[in-house]
Amino acid sequence: MKKLSHYDSAGSARMVDVSAKRETLRTARAHAFVRMRPAVLKQLPRNPKGNPLEIARIAGIAAAKKTSDLIPLCHPLMLSHADVDVTVEKHGVRIVASAATTGPTGVEMEALTAATVAALTVYDMTKALDKSIEIAEVYLIEKTGGKSGDFKRV
């Protein structure tokens, strides 16, 4: 069984030392879904705060760049790419975030943070219409690069 790398031999939390790791291209994509009633979906274009989908997209990109400020043991990374796709569907808003870097550690947390903050932004901009909006299905879709190799959710 693999051991968790964020703990030292005494069981204390620590930031992993990645200084000896090779810099390689690393990418990740993450997903979130904001479930809402059709009546709320219809109101999206008329939101007085602005376009919730575009604001969520920009919020997600900004969040990806701030991941290490939000999650204590994440390394600050120089992202070479961050993007968020936001799509309206029958039962809500699907969010797919992507991140990339050439560095010594992966960008899974950046992609997950982008997807989650984009979902929270959609909620924030629509909560006046319905407090029962649900953020669901937050997960890593895929990641590439690094010592552990590629991962693709099946």
Point out the residues that are catalytic.
124
Give the Cα separation of 60 and 97 in Å (integer): 8
Cα–Cα distances (Å) from 28 to 76, 136, 152, in that order, read 16, 19, 10
